[in-house]
Amino acid sequence: MTFPSPDKADAADSLTGGPPRRRVRVGRRGGGAPLPLLVPALIGLAFLVLPLVALLIRAPWSSMPDLLTSTEVWQALQLSLVCATAATAVSLVIGVPLAWLLARVEFPGRGLVRALVTLPLVLPPVVGGVALLMALGRNGVVGKWLDSWFGLTLPFTTTGVVIAEAFVAMPFLVISVEGTLRAADPRYEEAATTLGASRFTAFRRVTLPLIAPGVAAGAVLAWARALGEFGATITFAGNFPGRTQTMPLAVYLALQNDPEAAIALSLVLLAVSIAVLAGLRDRWMTAS
Amino acid sequence: MTRSVRRTRRMMQVTGVGAAALLALSACSSSDDDASAGSDASASASSSKLSGEVTVFAAASLKESFETLGRQFEKAHPGTKVTFSFGGSDALAASITGGAPADVFASASPKTMKIVTDAGDNATDPATFVRNQLEIATLPRNPDKVGSLKDLTDSDLKVVLCDKTVPCGAAAEKALTASKLKLTPVSYEEDVKSALNKVVLKEADAAVVYKTDVKAAGDKVEGVEFPESADAINDYPITLLKESKNTGTAKAFIALVQSAEGQKVLTAAGFLQP
């Protein structure tokens, strides 16, 4: 302990950001939080955390082992992890170039394109699912041809889950990467191109390493969003254990007749999400 | 491959006395209420004239017929208003036990009604007022020539069922078990309407849904009756809820649902009489 004696009052103070902490942090942040900000901030925190705590309190701890060792739960969890990861990969492959386009290339209607790209963020996921059905369903605008030319139908398949999740999650990645790209100095790229690198080489060797933390942050966000995706998935991909039944679907259906199982499943999903977000957030999100 | 319109004879007989029965029943039920709710000091109990708002929580499959009944009720009793909340029976039961302010609950299965009665939220014993039978919904003109439940086990067909956790799925499972058939669908849908919609959107070739849903979908799907559905008929119970602040009017609405006039509307929608 290099700080002043931690007596009771000081300990309480440091919890609420009082004097001792201020002395420690003064160089970095420039003072403790004023009360008019601190109180609503804490209410905000409680608002977000309380429901999750309630889940812990109401959890059927005694029957938990039985609930969690069923094959259906493992199938659903496994499928969730695989699909969320695949959806993130898809988002990276097509989302990063899209973000680059939005950040670096001037073209007419860029504002509109940006709005369209972020639309899935605000759209109810069920609407996304219906839209996907209209586009890629067996009878859809594009899906009709996929079916008659390649015999490929996407609804009710694991690929369908990945597509639904990518549709909903990719905007998170695009927004994050675009923001990082705008903050990154384009002169590095320009220097690289004047030294003879092609634009793609400059992107690959200069820009990408420069914005890596932003890409990683976006990927984590997209992954977490994909993991929690429900509406578009159940609408577009349906619900079949082991093939399209991800954890959120399992939770929803369990809630119909076995709320305890639903709570247990929710906790698993919560634990996985928190583990990943907490493990990566400090490293990537603040690095950008 | 019978299109599902064949039930009318008995219905025609009751039609004539419908309106009279309705009036008689509602009058009788409100005097009933005078006796039972006398100590409640509720506003409507003192007068036999019905008034005020009634909130009815009803299974999604009842939507069309209950809306018709609600309009009839409001017309017969000026000053009353019937408000509906339609949804999955399980979800409705959960919100009732969670304290939702409802007067009447009409559920699609005794199992979901039991959630409410177990919690002691009912004021009267639930009474079965209609029954619903399963039917296969296929694409219009039945291109896959589905004629029986067994035809659905063909692996070339994309079939959707309701999930076992919801009444229509439980009923389908019962019918399949009774006929010793093993059917692997492409999806277990979360409620009957979304199962039907997969066929309406032509994403699936067939779905096992209620007769009433097939009827409500009109010519967007074709209904195929199957004999095994007799083994899995769903009873729909209705009850007055303890939370009700307007028991007189609520009871009158329940009476309308059970009356000949109400049954006429319900059977026209494809429901069976209990």
Cβ-Cβ contacts under 8 Å, B188 against chain A: 238-241, 245, 253
Q: Do the chains contact at A256 and B163, CB–CB below 8 Å?
A: yes
d(CA A78, CA B144): 35
* Per-residue pLDDT reduced to its tens digit, A177-218: 999 999 988 899 889 999 998 989 998 999 999 999 899 989
- Sign of CA pseudo-dihedral A143, A146, A147, A152: negative
Tell me the angle at which helices B110-118 and B167-178 cross, rounded to the nearest 10 degrees: 130
A240 vs B: CB within 8 A: yes
Half-sphere exposure of A262 (CA within 13 A, CB side): 12
- Interface ipTM above 0.90: no
CA-based nearest residue in chain A for residue B163:
A253
Cβ-Cβ contacts under 8 Å, B91 against chain A: 256
Q: Are B88 and B80 in contact (CB under 8 A)?
A: no
Q: Closest approach of chain B CAs to the CA of A118, in angstroms? A: 27
Residue of B160, B170, B183, B161 lying closest to B235 (CA atoms): B170
Mean pLDDT across the stretch B116-136? Answer: 93
Cβ-Cβ contacts under 8 Å, B94 against chain A: 259
Mean pLDDT across the stretch B232-253? Answer: 93
pLDDT tier for residue A254 given thresholds of 50, 70 and 90: confident
Q: Do the chains contact at B201 and A257, CB–CB below 8 Å?
A: no
The pLDDT of residue B48 is 56
Helix (H, G, I), strand (E, B) or coil at A116: helix
A32 pLDDT above the threshold of 60? yes
**In whole numbers, what is the pLDDT of chain A averaged over residues?**
85
Q: Are B42 and B248 in contact (CB under 8 A)?
A: yes
Residue of B156, B265, B151 lying closest to B208 (CA atoms): B151
pLDDT tier for residue A286 given thresholds of 50, 70 and 90: low
Query: How many contacts does A have with B, using Cβ atoms within 8 A?
Result: 58
The pLDDT of residue A30 is 55
The pLDDT of residue A31 is 67
Best mutation target among A239, A245, A265 (most B Cβ atoms within 10 Å) is: A239
- Helix or strand (DSSP H, E) at A52: helix A35-58
CA-based nearest residue in chain B for residue A237:
B187
* CB contact burial A165-188 (16+ within 10 A = b; e otherwise): bbbbbbbbbbbbbbbbbeebeeee
- Angle ∠(B45,B47,B49) on CA atoms, nearest 5: 110
Helix (H, G, I), strand (E, B) or coil at A264: helix
A72 pLDDT above the threshold of 90? no
d(CA A80, CA A246): 5
Cβ-Cβ contacts under 8 Å, B92 against chain A: none
Q: Are A81 and A226 in contact (CB under 8 A)?
A: no
pLDDT tier for residue B13 given thresholds of 50, 70 and 90: very low
Helices and strands (H and E) in chain A: how many = 15, 0
Mean pLDDT across the stretch B64-78? Answer: 94
Neighbours of B176 (CB within 10 A): 20
Neighbours of B68 (CB within 10 A): 15
Q: Closest approach of chain A CAs to the CA of B20, in angstroms? A: 41
The pLDDT of residue A283 is 60
**In whole numbers, what is the pLDDT of chain B averaged over residues?**
83
Mean pLDDT across the stretch B199-219? Answer: 92
Q: Do the chains contact at B165 and A244, CB–CB below 8 Å?
A: no
Integer angstrom CA distances of residue A51 from A61, B33, B70: 17, 42, 38
A20 pLDDT above the threshold of 50? no
Q: Do the chains contact at B165 and A253, CB–CB below 8 Å?
A: yes
Residue of B3, B162, B185, B6 lying closest to B89 (CA atoms): B162
Half-sphere exposure of A153 (CA within 13 A, CB side): 20
Best mutation target among A146, A256, A260 (most B Cβ atoms within 10 Å) is: A256
* Per-residue pLDDT reduced to its tens digit, A86-119: 999 999 999 999 999 999 899 999 999 999 999 9
Cβ-Cβ contacts under 8 Å, B187 against chain A: 156, 237-240, 244
Q: Do the chains contact at A238 and B165, CB–CB below 8 Å?
A: no
d(CA B214, CA B204): 15
Within the 170-209 window of chain A, which residues sit less than 8 Å (CB to CB) from chain B? none
Residue of B195, B131, B214 lying closest to A238 (CA atoms): B195
